[in-house]
Each structure stands twice: as C-alpha cells, then as structure tokens.
Amino acid sequence: MRTDDLPAPESWDTSLPDWKARIVNRKPLIPDLPLFDAVADKALAIFKRLKIPDDFGTPRTFEEAGDDWIFDFVRAVFGSYDPERKVRMIREFLLLVPKGNAKTTYAAAIILVAAIMNERPHAELMLIAPSQKIAKRAFSQAAGMIRLDQDLTAMFDPKAYSNEIVKLDDVVPSRIQIVSADPSVVTGAMATFTLIDETHEFAKMSKAADVFAEIKGSLGKRPDGFLLQITTQSKAPPTGVWKSELTIARKVRDGEMRRSLLPVLYELPPEMAANDGWRDRSTWGMVNPNLNRSVSEDYIAGEIEKAEIDGPHQMALIASQHLNVEVGQGLNADRWAGALYWEKNADPSLTFERMLEDCDVMVAAGDVGGADDLFGFAAIGRHRHSRKWLAWHWAWCLRPVLELRKSIAPKLEELAQMDQLGITDSAAEQVEAAVQICCRIRDAGLFPEKAGIGLDPHGVAALVDALEEEGFELGKDIVPVGQGYKLSGAIKGVERRLFDGRLKHGGQELMTWCVGNAKAEQRGNNVYVTKEAAGVAKIDPLIALFTGAILMDGNPEPVGNLDSFISQPLMVI
C-alpha cells in the first residue's frame, strides 16, 4: 500500500459551528460525516449486543439500555475506517461527558469492539484508566461482557491477575491491556488502539506531554489505529496536556482549526455557564446525555444541595464533575476576592521592558520558598501619567521539584516552555536572575530613595548578600516585609485596585494559575492568603505582589539615575 496515495486525514471536516444551538435543543453533537456505513453498522451491531454485567436482574444489552448519542459516537469511531485502504479517516476522538454517564462501562465496551473489528495481526490495544481501582473496574466490566456472551467467551481469554484480555485468533491474534496511568507502563507502548479514561488525570503524570506525543506518534505507523479520550472536566483549572487537548478540541469544533480529530463536547456555552447559570436544572440534560438513565436529575440536585452546606470547594467539584463546568478563578473554593477581577485587568501588551519606559517609580519584591517550593518575584511600577499600578512577575523552581511535586510538574513544565518560569539546577541561578532584575530597575533610575526592594525576612540571606555586592544597602534599599497578618492590608488594597481597574498586569499564565490557586481565610479582621492554605498549588509570585504592594502603598518617589542628575540645572553661588 502506498501511503502517499492515502487521503489526508484533514479531508473530513469535523467542525460543528452550530454546537451551541444543538446543545440547547439536545440535538446530536456529531456532524454529518461520509462514514463507511458497512463498517459503522457492523461495529454498532456488535456494541449493541454486548450486555451490561452489573445490571439488575437479567443483564440488558446496550441496545436496550443505551441511547442514540452513544450509538452515533460508536458509528463515527468505527465508521471512519476505510476497509479497502486500511486507513482511518479520523484518528483521534475526544468525548467530554460528565461523571455518571456510564463512561467507564462504555470505554470497556468500545475497546472490546475494537479488538473484534481489528484486522492487524498481533495488535496491541490499551485502555488507560486514571487509577488502579478504575482499571480493575474497567477490566471487570469488559470481562463481564465476555462472560455473558458465549461467542465472546470462545473468542477471548481474560486474565484477571494481569488485567489483560487475549483474543484467541490464529490469524489475527491481539491483546487488550487495561492499565492505570503509570508512565512506566505507558511509555514505550506501541498500541494500535489507545483509549484514555479521564484525560485530566492522565495529564498529571510526570512527562505526560512526552507520553502523549509517543502515543500519537505510533498512529503515524498504524494508519488503521485511533486514540480515543473519554473524560470529564478536571477538578481544577485545566493544565498541561489536558489544557492543550481541550483547547485544540474546541478549536476544531468551532471551525478554527482542521485536525484528524472528532470532538464531542458536552459542555454549556460559556455565556450559559456564567454567573452560576449551570445551576439551572433545565440545563442539566443538555450536558448529561444519559440523564435519568445512569445518573438521575434528583441525584445531581441532592449533591448540589449538600455542597451548599459543605462549602465552595465541594460546589466546584460537583459543577466540574457532574455538569462539565470548567473550573476557573470564579469557581475555585474559598477563592481570594481579587481573583474575580484579575482577568479583566490583564493587558497582554504589558511587559517588564514597557514598565521600565512608562513608569516613574518601581519597586521589587520576592517570596523565597524552600527547596521544594517556588521563588516568586514581582515588580510593581506606577504609570507616570495615569498613576495606575503596573505589575510583572517571575518564578523559579529547582529541578528536583518536578519529582517532589509530581501533581504540578506538568504545569511547571508548561510555564517553563512559555518562558514564565525558570527551572534551575541551583538556588544561586535564581538569586542571580532576581539581582539582575533589580539592577535593571536601578539603572533605569526608577527605585525610590528608600525601601525599593521588599523581602520576606526568612530564607533570604543569599539574595541579600548578592544584592549588597551590587551596591544595594540592607535597611535602606532592602527592607524586610512581614508576612501573614501583616500582609492583610496589602491583600485588601490589591483587591480594591483590581476592582477599580487601578492595577494592570501582563496577563501571564503564571499568574492566572497562581491567582486561581489562592485561597483566602478570614481570621478576625485580617485576611490571609497563605501557601499553607493553597498546599502544593503554588501562589508564591502572588505573595510577592502583596509584598511589593506594601512598599507601593508608601507612595514612593524615584531617586533618579545618573543621567537625570546631570540634566538638572546647577545653581552656582
């Protein structure tokens, strides 16, 4: 077969520009595609005859228990395969569907159908579950479907000890592996068919982007294969591989990008989800295609009612998992009040270099963490005409943090690729970078005569020494800024400035992440935004912003540089 004679995968248009109207009117979310009907119908017939192993009484078939939305999806997955040229016209599929819509059961059924339909000898099929527990459940579901069908019992040999299902076929043998999201298992696999259950959990793996690239790369060598992702929304703001996959899927759906990808995204239009619009019961069936089948409306209502008591964190969890609401700054638990106004004050054209040109005074501040933490740094300037505050931020982490904090490693790597975070081999490199920033502000004549650099008093000895070597004086240029309750006034002041639009920032992804992580605690009259409250979800650059705000609240004036001094007229007596 000549691969250069194959049609380009992009030749099928999988966009759905009218998806919002379809969601609202509960219409199919799959566009009209020129499927290979014979293949599609055969696969659907196999899918429909499979029985649900954990059903009450006599197990029903998927034909009896399923609905058109999943039938249409199965037809699209398998009907995109051209049996004559052995090539799949759509190689990637992403189904975004809330929890409770039989996601794991459908995943097990689809991987079984893929094994039955497969024409490649010794093909590997892999179902990647988010945890060992769910991997066991997926295997149990697939093995149960086999056990309930005499023909499948003769065709497959499930091996519970290894979570493998071997297809007993002398001509086209194959093997299904059902594994948890473990890089040691997934890396190096050359599966023809890969199904990922809960992509947002998979994305938390160390080097998830590399593993994803490997999985997708294998499709280039196996044009008959596919990558299928079935997932709910993430429980935190999308990050890493999941953010990338979701962004691409939305662009393809909206017609902004062409890919060999079919996105089927059960999510409300942003304008409907905003301002707690997702709490309207009339919208739940729009994003839950199995509503009142595998998940009931009353159950979701009960979970929301319970979350009212348990607090914002639980409410965010329910919204993301049961209604596919993307968790963002407005949905995070115990959010810092300034998060509500952060995005509207972003100015993408703002850079540190522009601040050096446009500001009449600037200060710098740092929050130096431990060996497993971030070093956050901020520069705040006052615009010489509007008097608004302008802010820019940096962060650094030591390389071992990627192993010590594996849950956020993908985000740190993403920020590093965006040049918004430095991953260093030594703390000295971080100190040197921070000192260079301070020198640039000083050389521009923008530091005030006193208190231009504010630091958390703890763990900054190396930074202070390096600054002193550059001529900065401790107690004059460099001042300690108390943390904890002592930052309360600055926290409230920054909130007010964001509300009024008197603080602008560069819209850095680094800060979008940190601000989204910030959790406020009210203790008496004071507001705390602490690293302890945020846990491993880092906020250090935000703390640096509050630290710098303490200095800016003193309404500083610049000392000027040498050029400005020379330009002043001299009075000779």
DSSP string, 410-427: HHHHHHHHTTSSEEESSH
DSSP string, 183-201: HHHHTT---SEEEEE-HHH
Q: CB-side exposure of 449: number of CA atoms within 13 Å?
A: 2
Mean of per-residue pLDDT scores for the chain: 88
Query: Cα–Cα distance between 286 and 573 in angstroms, integer?
Result: 84
Do 398 and 251 lie in a common domain? no
pLDDT digits (tens, 9 = 90+) for 140-172: 999 999 999 999 999 999 999 999 999 999 899
pLDDT digits (tens, 9 = 90+) for 54-78: 888 889 999 999 999 999 999 999 9
Band (508; pLDDT cuts 50, 70, 90):
very high
Query: Which of 155, 115, 117, 102 is CA-nearest to residue 40?
Result: 117
Q: In sequence order, what E strands does 110-170 have?
A: 123-129, 156-159, 164-167
Domain that holds residue 351: 339-552
The total of structural domains in the chain comes to 3
Q: Which of 244, 266, 288 is the last residue in one of the domains?
A: 266
The answer to which of 255-259, 456-460, 475-479, 547-551 has the lowest mean pLDDT is 456-460
Do 315 and 227 lie in a common domain? no
Q: Is 157 exposed, middle or buried (0-12, 13-18, 19+ CB in 10 A)?
A: middle
Tell me the CATH number at 411.
Answer: 3.30.420.240
In a domain, 410, yes or no: yes
Do 281 and 371 lie in a common domain? no
In a domain, 89, yes or no: yes
Do 46 and 154 lie in a common domain? yes
Listed ranges 136-140, 203-207, 213-217, 514-518; the one with the highest mean pLDDT: 136-140
DSSP 8: P
The answer to which of 5-9, 33-37, 252-256, 260-264 has the lowest mean pLDDT is 5-9
DSSP SS3 for 512: helix
Contact 117, 42 (CB under 8 A): yes
Do 257 and 364 lie in a common domain? no
In a domain, 76, yes or no: yes
Band (331; pLDDT cuts 50, 70, 90):
low
In a domain, 77, yes or no: yes
Tell me the CATH number at 36.
Answer: 3.40.50.300
Q: pLDDT > 70: what percent of the chain? A: 91
Do 397 and 527 lie in a common domain? yes
Please give the structure tokens belonging to residue 462: 């190396």
Do 398 and 500 lie in a common domain? yes
Query: Cα–Cα distance between 382 and 448 in angstroms, integer?
Result: 12
In a domain, 240, yes or no: yes
Do 49 and 145 lie in a common domain? yes
Q: Average pLDDT, stretch 325-331?
A: 65
Q: In sequence order, what E strands does 97-173 have?
A: 123-129, 156-159, 164-167
- Residue 569 in this model has a pLDDT that exceeds 70: no
Q: Average pLDDT, stretch 396-425?
A: 90
Listed ranges 127-141, 431-445, 529-543; the one with the highest mean pLDDT: 431-445
Please give the structure tokens belonging to residue 33: 């595609």
In a domain, 328, yes or no: no
Do 433 and 360 lie in a common domain? yes
Do 489 and 363 lie in a common domain? yes
- Residue 33 in this model has a pLDDT that exceeds 90: yes
Whether the full predicted model's pTM is greater than 0.85, yes or no, is: no
In a domain, 559, yes or no: no
In a domain, 561, yes or no: no
Do 75 and 167 lie in a common domain? yes
The CA distances from residue 407 to 41, 198, 206, 233, in Å, are 42, 15, 8, 17
Q: In sequence order, what E strands does 373-434 have?
A: 374-383, 389-398, 422-424
Do 60 and 165 lie in a common domain? yes
Contact 547, 487 (CB under 8 A): yes
Query: Cα–Cα distance between 345 and 465 in angstroms, integer?
Result: 36
